[in-house]
Amino acid sequence: MTRKCRVLQRAALWFRLALLLLSAVGYAAAAGGCSSVAFPSNRHYAACSDLPRLSSSIHWSYDSAAATLSFAFVAPPPKPEGWVSWAINPTADGMLGSQALIAFHQPDGSMGVRTYNITGYESIAEGPIDFNASNLAAEYSGGAMRLYGKLKLPAGMTVVKQVWQVGSSVADGVPQKHGFQPENLQSKGTLDLIKGAISPSGGSTNVKKNVHGVLNAVSWGILLPIGAIIARYLKTFKSADPAWFYLHVTCQIVGYGVGVGGWATGLDLGSKSKGIQYTTHRNIGIILFCLGTLQVFALFLRPSKDHKYRFVWNIYHYLVGYTVIVLGIVNVFKGLEILSVDHKWTMGYIIAVAILGGIALFLEVVTWSVILKRKDARSSSNGV
């Protein structure tokens, strides 16, 4: 009996130790993130949230009776001489129209905060914002900048559209342009001051970007090359005539239709992303649409086999067709780079293109083999 008691006591002791360890782990986890940020003793905030971009966090206290928001924004600038910014946009969910507070080292070396009403992408000018701002201050330590302030909000505004950003340089007291990486372009969302919930913005835009990428990769990058392979190699076999022609036309028309859908989503994205331009990708896309449309019209202007202009039409059709295929594949890679997709998707497309190239190479050998055999057969027949 005594032995059993000792065993039970030891088991109870180990159980307590396990509970203490779990509690310590839980406390350490809870202490991470925004809650671990230390502020001067005179600054306290009721809530905080880690923002999904730029290693930043927002801390705030909201007085619903007075409709005032006291906040602290914390983020590491790319360089010590850079800047950080937090803004509320009362009219949209992006940079244009945002009422921004920007913290950076002032000409005298001290940290300070200035206000900006962002009306364009080219340059910004200091000026008053739509919200009454007070208690503005900033500090820099440990590689991070802390921007403090108090804003008077319109009564009932408990959910705000926030935009935050960091930049690497300031020239003559003017913050210079920030980077245009996905981290920078997606640093926006909504903040519920009561519930403490944040949500990233631009979800529908991201979906459109993905749709745009998939449509173009499938059309210009896969379907049209397959259609060209069908026309190039299947027509060599007499038994495949005229099936190869209908397969070729079907594949190209479907590919062109899907490609037009991708091109249209690209135009829509461009119209909603003023100031953000991917010139090479856009120009290649325009060229592809024009050449693809010419190829469709060429189908209806196709001369008969014995027509005197059929040779000219063939040259035109081949040149334009292969140009579309090459530019299409190049532009798909450009798009993958812009979207900053996972490496596996880029590798997946590389593998798809390699497979199509391998098939084309194999069929090229088979085609020339068939052509040479027919030539030898004709020579033997003529010799007999």
Residue ranges at the known binding site for heme b: 212, 248, 281, 317
Closest among 186, 182, 138 to 163, alpha carbons compared: 186
Backbone φ and ψ for 240, nearest 5 degrees, come out as -90, 0
At a CB cut-off of 8 Å and minimum separation 6, what does 181 contact?
340
* Residues 149 and 173 sit within 8 Å (Cβ to Cβ): no
DSSP strand pairing (99-105 vs 47-50): unpaired
Would you say how long the chain is, in residues? Answer: 384
Per-residue burial over 214-242, b = 16 or more CB atoms within 10 Å of its CB, e = otherwise: ebbbbbbbbbbbbbbbbbbbbbbeeeeee
Residue type, 78: P
Q: Which residues are annotated as a binding site?
A: 212, 248, 281, 317
**Three-state DSSP class for 145?**
strand
* Residues 178 and 165 sit within 8 Å (Cβ to Cβ): yes
Closest among 144, 118, 120, 147 to 133, alpha carbons compared: 147
| Torsional sign, CA 373, 378, 383, 384 | positive
In terms of DSSP H, where are the helices of the chain?
2-31, 182-185, 203-218, 224-233, 243-271, 279-300, 310-339, 343-383
In terms of DSSP H, where are the helices of 181-278?
182-185, 203-218, 224-233, 243-271
**Three-state DSSP class for 273?**
coil
CA distance 76 to 142: 9
Closest among 182, 106, 111, 206 to 149, alpha carbons compared: 111
| Cis peptide bond prior to 76, omega within 30° of 0 | no
